[in-house]
Amino acid sequence: MKTYVLYGKKIDSKAELFDELGRAVNGPGGYFGSNLDALADCLRGGFGTPRDEPFRFVLMDFHHVQKALAEQTWNGLLEVFRHSGVELVLGESVH
């Protein structure tokens, strides 16, 4: 299964969340949504992700992201992934 890794320590704002999503999928400066509605569209596949194969995201240092984002944005992010059927694995870095 194709896996995209997000580095949570690089995310200190909503804008940086979308920057990191774009980087993970489409390389530096890449696009993968700029708000939660656009992310939902992108998660349908074909915006750098496979159209007909499963894929997932791993969010490392997710506690950092959870603290950095407004509660509404964090909960919205989780909801978008839940509704899309795309797995979001919440992980922590080993130091």
Kind of pairing between the strands at 55-60 and 2-7: parallel
Q: Which amino acid appears at position 24 of this protein?
A: A
pLDDT for 60 equals: 98
The alpha carbons of the chain give a radius of gyration, in whole angstroms, of 12
pTM comes to 0.93
Residue 93's pLDDT band, with cuts at 50, 70 and 90, is confident
Residue 77: which domain range?
2-90
What is the tens place of the pLDDT at every residue in 40-57?
A: 999 999 899 998 899 999
Number of domains in the chain: 1
Q: For residue 95, is it within any domain?
A: no
Q: What integer is the mean pLDDT of 26-45? A: 96
